[in-house]
Amino acid sequence: MANQTALIIIDMQFGVFESAIIPPVSGAKELLSNIGKLIAKARNASVPIVFVQHNGESGHPLEHATAGWNIHPAIAPTDQDILIQKSTPDSFHNTQLQEELESRRIRELVIAGIQTEFCIDTTCRRAFSLGYQVTLVKDAHSTWDTESLSARQIIAHHNEILEQWFAKTKEVKDIDFNSRS
């Protein structure tokens, strides 16, 4: 998996954990811990890590260049990591993501982050459509409760739906960047 693989971490920004505007994302502590484990595994295997950062409009919890916009310090990028800026749920749309992946001959993506039903779902589907092999880390993405569904229900639903066509799903413990599975 390591040679052609990248870890894609979407919208793990301070504003989704600490904000006066919105409550913290569901399972915030576990999510940070699980993504921290993925990062450690990727770094140990010399797998590129791509942090995708949402640029919210004025007043948004992820407003560009505000404290909430920064990647959460518990999983802060290093100088070797790749930073991609986006303004839509699609991490590929009007960004440099595909160019960065192509320049490194990346063909397999391991995806984690926020928000399950928007950025995670859209990026998994788009990556599949672009020919990437996609693994969604089913215990390393999250969202918020809605009026009709809990965050747990949304996460479980998307794991099930995306696995039927667009991505393999694995838990953090089963991600091995050193193997070819």
Mean pLDDT, to the nearest integer, of 111-131?
Answer: 98
Contact 5, 47 (CB under 8 A): yes
Cα separation, 136 vs 120, in Å, equals 8
Choose between 18 and 77: higher pLDDT: 77
Mean pLDDT, to the nearest integer, of 125-148?
Answer: 98
Q: 157 pLDDT exceeds 80?
A: yes
Mean pLDDT, to the nearest integer, of 55-68?
Answer: 93
pLDDT (0 to 100) of residue 21: 80
Mean pLDDT, to the nearest integer, of 97-125?
Answer: 98
Nearest of 98, 108, 114, 99 to residue 30 by alpha carbon: 114
Tokens encoding 67 = 């404290």
Helix (H), strand (E) at residue 99: helix 97-103
Contact 113, 123 (CB under 8 A): no
Helix (H), strand (E) at residue 133: strand 133-142
pLDDT (0 to 100) of residue 156: 98
DSSP 72: P
Contact 155, 141 (CB under 8 A): yes
Tokens encoding 35 = 């993504």
Cα separation, 83 vs 53, in Å, equals 7
Nearest of 100, 136, 109, 131 to residue 120 by alpha carbon: 136
Contact 115, 11 (CB under 8 A): yes
Mean pLDDT, to the nearest integer, of 21-37?
Answer: 95
Contact 69, 26 (CB under 8 A): no
Instruction: Set out the domains of the chain in order of their start, with CATH numbers.
Output: 5-174 (3.40.50.850)
User: Which backbone phi and psi does 32 adopt, to 5 degrees?
Assistant: -60, -40
pLDDT band, very low/low/confident/very high, at 180 (cuts 50, 70, 90):
low
